[in-house]
Chain A
Amino acid sequence: MRWIAIILVLAVFGESYSQIRRDNRERLYPTLLDKESRVTDDQVQKARTLFKIIEEGIVKGNVGKFSSHFDRQIFVNSTRGESGYFSSDQATSLLQHYFGTRKVVSFEFSRLSEKGLTPYATGRLVSIYKGSLESAQVYVSCSWQSTGWVIGQFNIY
């Protein structure tokens, strides 16, 4: 046990040193922004499809239908008070929790803006929460990653 602790201490210092090293090292990350600046028709169609999926998911209260399209960091705002950036997994849990405590009566995206680099859709959500009818506005926006559209913002207010 003793010598394992010593080795681990060495590992810690080695690790810490690696984080404060002075040499310049360049790291390449995947493309942050797509170099294409205009949205193609195919992308517009994909955006519409995605919003359709989201709409269906919200109507059924099934977050899993569209959670795979969440960005790695997604801004979530809900009437439960959560507001901020969350990981895709955490956002999935939050929204599952939200829809799990509500019975969706109706939902439809009434306004769609699928053209542009950050298409969005908004609609009114009517649900029953603790027996009372509740109305909220849902706003969802997406952005284009190299693999397709990802949901970057999901607001319920």
Chain B
Amino acid sequence: MNMRAVSKERPGLWGFFICLTIIAVISLVRVLWTQRIADHWPEVQADRVQRIQEVCNRDFDTRARGLLRNAVSIADDSTLFQNLFQTDPKSVQIAFADLRSKRHSDNITYEITDARGAILCWSGKSADSSYEDELQTARGDTIVSLSQRGLYTYLSVGLSAAHKRAYVFVSHPLVVNYPISSRFVRSTNFTDNLRSLVKTDFRLTTKPESSPEENGDYQTAVLTDFAGAPVGSVVFAKPQLDAVLQEANSEFDRWLGLFIGLATLSLGWAASLMSGRISRTWLRPLIGIVALWAVRFVWISAEFPARLVGGDLFNPSVYSSPFLLGAASSLGETLISVVFLAITVFLSFRWVYEWIQQWNRQSSSLTRASLFIRTVAVIALIIAVLWITRGFGAAIRSFVVDSTIAFHDPLTTLPSFTVFIMQVNILLLSVSFVGFTLLISLLLSKIADSFSGASRSVRLILLSGVFFFTFVVFQVLNPEPIVPWYISLFILLAGYAVANSLRNLTYDQLKERVLGWKGLTSLIVASSLLSLVVTDRQIHAKEREQVQAYAQELLQPLDTWISFVLSDGLRSIVSSYRQQPLVNGLPNDNNGNIGFLFWTKTLMSREGYNSAVVVYNDLNKEISSFSVGLSTFEQREILSKVFENEEESVVVLDRTSPLGATKSYGLWSTLRNNQGKLLGSVALLLSASEKSMFGGEENETLLSSRNTILQNVYRPTTVSIFESGRLTATTHEEFAFENDVSQSVVEKFAATKVNSIWMEEVMGGKDYESLFARDPRVPGTIVEVSLESIDYRWHIFDFLKLLSAALTALALLALVRGLISLRVQHRFALTFRTKLLVSFLILGFVPLILLGYYNKEYAAQTLNEAMKKTLIRDLDMISQRILTSVSDEEDYLKGISNDFAESVSSDLGVDFTVYHRIELQASSRPELYEASILDSRLPGNVFAEVVLMGKQFVIDDETIGSVRYAVGYKPLYLQGSFVGVLAVPAPYHQRDVEESLARRNAYYAAVYAIMIIIIMSAGWGIAQQLSIPVRELTLAAREIGKGNLDVHVDQRSRDEIGELVKSFDQMAVEIKTSRINLAAAERKLAWTEMAKQVAHEIKNPLTPMKLSIQHLRQAFKDKARDLPTIVDRTTQIIIEQIDALSRIAAEFSHYARMPEKRFERISLDETVLECVELFNKVKGIEFRVKFDDNGSQLIADKDELRRVFINIIRNSVQALDRGGTITIDSKIVGSSCRIRFMDSGEGIPANLLSKVFEPNFSTKTDGTGLGLAISQKIIQELNGTIGISSNPGKGTTVEINLPV
């Protein structure tokens, strides 16, 4: 077993078993827990009820204390109260401004009252008209109260201040009293918190309950103030066993899902590592792929990580497709799936390459059977590419069609989170698609290449034939292509061409090329471009579908739904009224309360329709009405039609006029009590038209809240209606009426019998694509819906947003690789070129970001200025009308009514509100104030600035629901006296800013995109220009380091870099020259040294030769008895020395080097003796020799050693020119043999002793100075040591140690 492989798998296996254990434990705990809950349900229920009560109280207490803190901070501001109690308006205004500056939320109201509860200063919506009651019942310095006012129930906290001269009340809406649309109200946190906690309906009452309401399934949580006194209560349904069990199971399921996900991941990881043990290498990646997708599907079934993460990422209303058993059931699931797909592509490359290598090893003989199989394989692979292309197109189409994501939202500069994730999905899918196509094309190329036996051109022709035949057949069998045929063909051919160029690379080379920076960037950019092309087409197709559905809606509006809404609303009102206690009639209600209350019970209010409810008593007198979005004139028009029809019969009023087209509905019914007595009647009215599309200034917030089908179509849309071929209504500003519909449209409708036609046309100098649709039930009526064509700027803008996803992916990749590099190499290396490019990118983007920010600020400022001018103009216009209509204050109070306001508003096309002092006097939109959607009290800071300080113009913000808009205020003076304040809203402000910003962004983004491209190109060019010479210099320096001096770097410029290159080249030349000179000098020196050495070496044999001949001559002269022996020995020595000479000569003549060493086992003692014998006839010198008894042998070159010994003995002989003794002894010391040559000469001075081993050092006039240097070299080569010591006047000792 491969222990190393096992150690790799071990963490995965351990992870799996640990997770499995945890799963078992969780399951067991779940069973025990649920059992325990079921067995002890009464106690558990009581405990839950108590917890809910505690949470309600705690939440309430926390909110109250938060409000108290605000009250304390106000109460502590003594300056504010000083100013407030002043008489001069300026000080009071400062107090108002001070109070306003402390308010950081729109939802909160600050009110300062006097000791009796009358409000002196305020900021925010009025929570109560007066706090008299609260102060009267107050038990301490702090007051906590709940009060119902209009749409909300407010929580108010009061605190005494300024030594009890004043009270500070801080209020906050706690609960929305009616279930009406979020168009009008903002949901409150208290509501959301309780709903998430209790998960059922609950009711907040402002009457404090002294004892809990125990009513079967209901329980009460009493809300108390800081002293514990009850102020209100929350009634909620008791938790039920099923609900609690389901909640507990749901929680357990979440954790189980987590650990199942982790367990499968661990097991899959271990399995893929274990596959490394399989001998068939091509099988390993396949097992990895199977393990990967097994993990994926287990995750899908365990809903991991959807259950844990949640949010928009896993919300099917953002994106959902039934593809592949839930693998794309949400945005998050799709993201996980495309990541897995990308990994699959990576593993598939490995798998295919392993298989190709297997194939390469097999024989490639081409039989008929294999030819047939290969042809079938080619066809199958071509079909695979086309099928994958189709699949890719289908996936992109699903991303667009099956989502509510606004891909091309022009109002956003940066893509939103969901758009970003979807773009990442598209990018990863595109990369996977390119990968798969390349992979299949590689296979295709490989198989095609294996058709050997024919010439290349014949092969190409045959292959092309197969390609196109298969392509055509596929297109014929694919009648509804998702991807156009030319894109499929392009992908097929391009894939094959690329694969052909990469075919001969190995897997590692391919990985290097594709996963290197260049390859990866090219891949991501190419995938982005490809995905942009395909996505754009799908978005365009979806827009057209939406327009078609919209046209259908215009022609056949949803009468049935509206009828149903009205009928259902009526039923709700009638049935709810029947539940009321018996009354004799409807009360006289001048406040519109009943009308409003009825309206809140209908689906109209929940759906947010422009609608109205009118209530009549039994004498058919109108006693109450409430409307939102319908003018009085419209109401009267519809009502007259409604009452012409029978009870409970829906009436449709269809009006088309140059100013617009409207469709209104209505019905009426009687109201009877349980005995059937007629009490009154009620009429419900509803408008389903979008007035803003047909001109007129309509408050955007009062439009129907229902999502229109064109919600995500951001192209400017124009709708026109033709009656009998003549234009009768249009939203286009420049169209003239009485224009005819295009003749070609009429002819087409007549000829083809279709009911809709798309055409492209130019209107007002702009390009449009228009849908003409007709209603066969109403001959002659044609609706035209035109979408303005988007120009290249928007395309670039959208492409930049898509590119931001790609760039983010690249940046993340760079970060990951950098971190890996940091870990592995302990350094974060960026090349010079990369640093330069990144610097240019930063320089390019930073101004873009700054410009984006200032652009927004400038756009807002510009629009604010424009809005201010418009408001001033409108205020002047309306105030003139008012002031010319009334003469004095009494007239003002009587004459300025809601009817008057509506009439003027209708004339001038501007809504407005009039205040008398600080209270509402009249409004063209009275329903908004009646329903408390808007506050009927003049805002505090407006009061301070306009009423107190007399400012002629003030702008303040107002909010309806979540929509914020600006309101302009102006004082009204009659006969020099102040009578009231006029207010005019600017409802388009927010939208105008966004639209203007979007246009600017698109315009500037296009320009900036071009600038960024230029900057990047310039940066790239400059980086290249700078880095190439640097790189070349680096390479050249390396070559020089290796010894290659013939390098040359081209001088590409005349700047500093060019100078550097020139200097470098000069340096290289100089180095080369000096090296040549040095080499020559070295050679000369070497020759000199060689000559010296040769001379020395030649001298070595000559000395013993001379000595031997001298010895022989002397022996001959002396007629020595052993002359034959001496002759023999002497001649032997001479012959040996002559051999040595001839060897030296031969070596020198052939290779100019010293003779090769001949290693042999020699006896040191004998060698020494031989050398001694050469000198023992020298007169006056006595040799004393003493060797070790054990003898010593070593492996060495005998000649070399002899040279050493001769050299040393000769030196000693030369030093004893007056005679003396030379003592030679040897001794075995450890593993070495020590030989000492001691003479009794004059010795060597100490200052010269250290130089004796230096070459060329000699004290003799005829000496070469090499003897001892060569001797030292020879001894050192034998791993020995040689040393010299001398005692001037006494002698010199040379000691040699040689290993034996």
Residue of A nearest to B487 (CB): A11
Taken together as a complex, chains A and B put the C-alpha atoms of A113 and B561 apart, in Å, by 11
Taken together as a complex, chains A and B put the C-alpha atoms of A32 and B487 apart, in Å, by 29
* Set of chain B residues within 8 Å of A84, measured between Cβ atoms: 317, 404, 707, 711
Give which listed residue, B246, B518, B545, B795, contacts A1 with CB less than 8 A: B518
Give which listed residue, B319, B606, B755, B762, contacts A32 with CB less than 8 A: B755
Q: B526 contacts A90, CB within 8 Å?
A: no
Q: A12-B529, A73-B545 are in contact. Are A141 and B522 (CB under 8 A)?
A: no
Contact with A along B521-534 (1 / 0, CB 8 A): 01101100110110
Within 8 A of A (CB), among B762-797: 762, 767, 773-777, 789-792, 795
Q: B709 contacts A11, CB within 8 Å?
A: no
Q: A4-B522, A26-B759, A93-B329 are in contact. Are A32 and B548 (CB under 8 A)?
A: yes
Query: Is B752's beta carbon under 8 Å from chain A?
Result: yes
Q: A8 contacts B240, CB within 8 Å?
A: no
B1013 CB to closest chain A CB (Å) equals 12
Q: A1-B519, A11-B490 are in contact. Are A31 and B754 (CB under 8 A)?
A: yes
Query: Is B44's beta carbon under 8 Å from chain A?
Result: no
* Set of chain B residues within 8 Å of A7, measured between Cβ atoms: 490, 494
Taken together as a complex, chains A and B put the C-alpha atoms of A27 and B745 apart, in Å, by 11
Interface size on B, residues (CB 8 A): 87
* Set of chain A residues within 8 Å of B250, measured between Cβ atoms: 130
* Set of chain A residues within 8 Å of B321, measured between Cβ atoms: 89-90, 93
Q: B776 contacts A93, CB within 8 Å?
A: no
* Set of chain B residues within 8 Å of A36, measured between Cβ atoms: 776
Q: A7-B494, A26-B759, A153-B558 are in contact. Are A73 and B549 (CB under 8 A)?
A: yes
Residue of B nearest to A128 (CB): B242
Query: Is B243's beta carbon under 8 Å from chain A?
Result: yes
Give which listed residue, B533, B558, B560, contacts A113 with CB less than 8 A: B560
Residue of B nearest to A4 (CB): B526
Query: Is B686's beta carbon under 8 Å from chain A?
Result: no
Query: Is B245's beta carbon under 8 Å from chain A?
Result: yes
Q: A5-B529, A93-B316, A93-B321 are in contact. Are A85 and B546 (CB under 8 A)?
A: yes
Q: B320 contacts A32, CB within 8 Å?
A: no
Q: A132 contacts B320, CB within 8 Å?
A: no
* Set of chain A residues within 8 Å of B847, measured between Cβ atoms: none
* Set of chain B residues within 8 Å of A72, measured between Cβ atoms: 545, 549
Q: A97 contacts B316, CB within 8 Å?
A: yes
Query: Is B1261's beta carbon under 8 Å from chain A?
Result: no
Q: B760 contacts A35, CB within 8 Å?
A: no
Contact with A along B1085-1123 (1 / 0, CB 8 A): 000000000000000000000000000000000000000
Give which listed residue, A24, A90, A137, contacts B402 with CB less than 8 A: A90
Q: B564 contacts A120, CB within 8 Å?
A: yes
Contact with B along A1-34 (1 / 0, CB 8 A): 1101101110110011001111111111111111
Contact with A along B738-762 (1 / 0, CB 8 A): 0000001000100011111111111
Q: B744 contacts A26, CB within 8 Å?
A: yes
Q: B558 contacts A141, CB within 8 Å?
A: yes
Taken together as a complex, chains A and B put the C-alpha atoms of A61 and B401 apart, in Å, by 25
Q: A2 contacts B522, CB within 8 Å?
A: yes
Query: Is A116's beta carbon under 8 Å from chain B?
Result: yes
Interface size on A, residues (CB 8 A): 63
Q: B529 contacts A1, CB within 8 Å?
A: no
Query: Is B373's beta carbon under 8 Å from chain A?
Result: no
Taken together as a complex, chains A and B put the C-alpha atoms of A35 and B494 apart, in Å, by 47
Give which listed residue, A12, A37, A132, contacts B243 with CB less than 8 A: A132
Contact with A along B551-566 (1 / 0, CB 8 A): 1100110111100100
Q: A89 contacts B760, CB within 8 Å?
A: no
Query: Is A143's beta carbon under 8 Å from chain B?
Result: yes
Q: A20 contacts B560, CB within 8 Å?
A: no
Q: B758 contacts A27, CB within 8 Å?
A: yes
Taken together as a complex, chains A and B put the C-alpha atoms of A47 and B601 apart, in Å, by 31
A113 CB to closest chain B CB (Å) equals 7
Q: A20-B791, A32-B551 are in contact. Are A89 and B558 (CB under 8 A)?
A: no
A-B contact pairs, 17 of them (CB 8 A): A11-B490, A16-B795, A19-B540, A22-B760, A23-B760, A32-B755, A82-B317, A83-B706, A84-B707, A93-B316, A94-B317, A117-B556, A128-B242, A130-B199, A130-B243, A132-B199, A141-B558
Further contacts, 14 of them, CB under 8 A, given A9-B529, A90-B316, A118-B559? A1-B519, A1-B526, A12-B529, A19-B790, A19-B795, A33-B773, A75-B709, A86-B317, A90-B320, A94-B317, A130-B247, A139-B561, A141-B561, A157-B606
Report B's interface with A, CB cutoff 8 A: 199-200, 237, 240-247, 250, 316-317, 319-322, 329, 398, 401-404, 487, 490, 494, 498, 513-514, 518-519, 522-523, 525-526, 529-530, 532-533, 536-537, 540, 545-546, 548-549, 551-552, 555-556, 558-561, 564, 568, 603, 606, 706-707, 709, 711, 744, 748, 752-762, 767, 773-777, 789-792, 795
Report A's interface with B, CB cutoff 8 A: 1-2, 4-5, 7-9, 11-12, 15-16, 19-37, 72-73, 75, 82-87, 89-90, 92-94, 97, 113, 116-120, 122, 128, 130-132, 137, 139, 141, 143, 153, 155, 157
Q: Top 3 nearest A-B pairs by Cβ distance? A: A131-B243, A93-B320, A1-B522
